Amino acid sequence: MKKLYALLAVVSTAVQGAVLVGDSARGAEVFKSQNCVTCHSVNGEGGKAGPDLGKRASRGYTPSELTSLMWNHAPAMWSAMEKANVAKPKLSSEQAADLFAYFYAARYFERKGDAGRGREAFAKGGCSECHSISGGASSAGPAVAKWESVADPIELSRQMWNHSGKMREAMKAKGMRQPQLTAAEMNDITVYLQNLPATRGMKPQFQPAAPDTGEMLFELKGCRSCHRDANALVKGPQFRGASDFAAGMWNHSAKMQQRAEIRPEEMKRLVGYLWALQFANEGANAARGAKVFEAKGCGNCHGKGIAPVLALGEKATSYEMIAVLWGHGPAMQKEMKAKGIAWPRFETAEMADLLAHLKGR
């Protein structure tokens, strides 16, 4: 899928710790208004001087990765902006979160699926036994052409969850068993369905809702009764992509005797909760971060009267670091250059550890 202007319409909230969740629609506007589009493109749309930011970076794309990439390339970006007479933007932490959501959504959260494999998986899994593409006598279930959920992974997951009981009964009557799907297979199937002539024009969307209400629903729907102790959903990656989530919901439904039906707004809230939860902790280590702080020379200026003491507490997030970078970075670089200090570079893990250290200062 070349374009995914996903709407991560989620507010800043606390989910077992401060987690800021962005809005990709706002991120698209920030990308334009702050002149990022002058040099960079997203899925081929925009400038060609810099890399296309819609191309997949890594499977585990995180806020810390965006922060480290921005930090490492900042001097080159500032230099290019000066030559092009483009004003350097100043980003707020909220705008940084919106940009992350935009880039994350543009990558469709995962590697691109394969429509050919998806067609095979759709048939092999028995989906085509009940669901035809455009309808007709062979379509016992709704035809794919009528699935508005094809363009909405949250709604697709909800529909699969709510109707899994009936689908399982229909399969049993045909002598079939409910297939278990991997995230890769779900990804391929989704790409296949989204590129059919009848569905190709549907505008993709991804609209989680506020994480705090999602956590409340997680309790009310009884999810917590099973997902606790060894099965608890701890901070960290729960699903790295839309297909991870959809496949997980489908496979999990086969193991449950009683399932609570989920309404559209409820699924959006649950996904918003899980979305925020997976970025609440990127596996960072404050002790390692203290070593990064010294090794990168941060302590040579911060805390010695040259630059402010970095004691950000809960504000020590990837998005706040991006805001600091664009707000004070050019002046920092000028001061460092005058003192003969090289601009430090950070690996993703180093940036995550550094932020964990700053949060505890």
The two tokens of residue 142 are 């709704």
Q: Are 204 and 194 in contact (CB under 8 A)?
A: yes
In a domain, 122, yes or no: yes
Which of 51, 81, 106 represents a domain boundary (last residue)?
106
Which residues on neighbouring strands pair with residue 45, listed in sequence order? 42
In a domain, 321, yes or no: yes
What was the pLDDT predicted at 235? 53
What was the pLDDT predicted at 112? 67
Q: Tokens 């250059």 belong to which residue? A: 337
Mean pLDDT (the chain, rounded): 80
131 & 263 share domain: yes
In a domain, 156, yes or no: yes
Query: HEC profile for 271-316?
Result: HHHHHHHHCCCCCCCHHHHHHHHHHCCHHHCECCCCECCCCCHHHC
333 & 269 share domain: no
What was the pLDDT predicted at 108? 47
In a domain, 210, yes or no: no
Which of 106, 128, 148 represents a domain boundary (last residue)?
106
pTM of the model: 0.70
123 & 246 share domain: yes
Cα torsion at 125, 127, 129, 135 (round to 10°)? -160
173 & 264 share domain: yes
Q: Is 80 helix (H, G, I), strand (E, B) or coil?
A: helix
Reduced DSSP (H G I as helix, E B as strand, rest coil) percent helix, strand, coil of the chain, to 5: 55, 5, 45
Residues 6 or more apart whose CB falls under 8 angstroms from that of 171 comprise 126, 129, 177, 178
27 & 91 share domain: yes
261 & 318 share domain: no
What was the pLDDT predicted at 7? 26
Residues 6 or more apart whose CB falls under 8 angstroms from that of 271 comprise 154, 157, 208, 209, 214, 245
| Domain count across the chain | 3
Which of 278, 294, 324 represents a domain boundary (last residue)?
278
Q: What is the CATH number of the domain that holds 18?
A: 1.10.760.10
259 & 221 share domain: yes
In a domain, 126, yes or no: yes
What was the pLDDT predicted at 296? 92
In a domain, 2, yes or no: no
Q: What is the pLDDT of residues 9-48, one digit of tens each?
A: 332 333 334 466 677 778 889 999 998 888 888 877 888 8
What was the pLDDT predicted at 96? 92
DSSP letter, residue 340: T
What was the pLDDT predicted at 137? 59
Q: Is 13 helix (H, G, I), strand (E, B) or coil?
A: strand
User: With a cut of 70, which residues of the chain have pLDDT below it?
Assistant: 1-21, 56-60, 105-112, 136-139, 204-206, 210, 233-242, 256-259, 280-281, 303-314
In a domain, 3, yes or no: no
20 & 60 share domain: yes
57 & 180 share domain: no
**331 lies in which domain range?**
286-359
47 & 124 share domain: no
155 & 238 share domain: yes
What was the pLDDT predicted at 165? 84
171 & 42 share domain: no
Rounded distance between C-alpha atoms, residue 178 and residue 250, angstroms: 9
Q: Is 341 helix (H, G, I), strand (E, B) or coil?
A: coil
In a domain, 211, yes or no: no
The two tokens of residue 86 are 């483009």
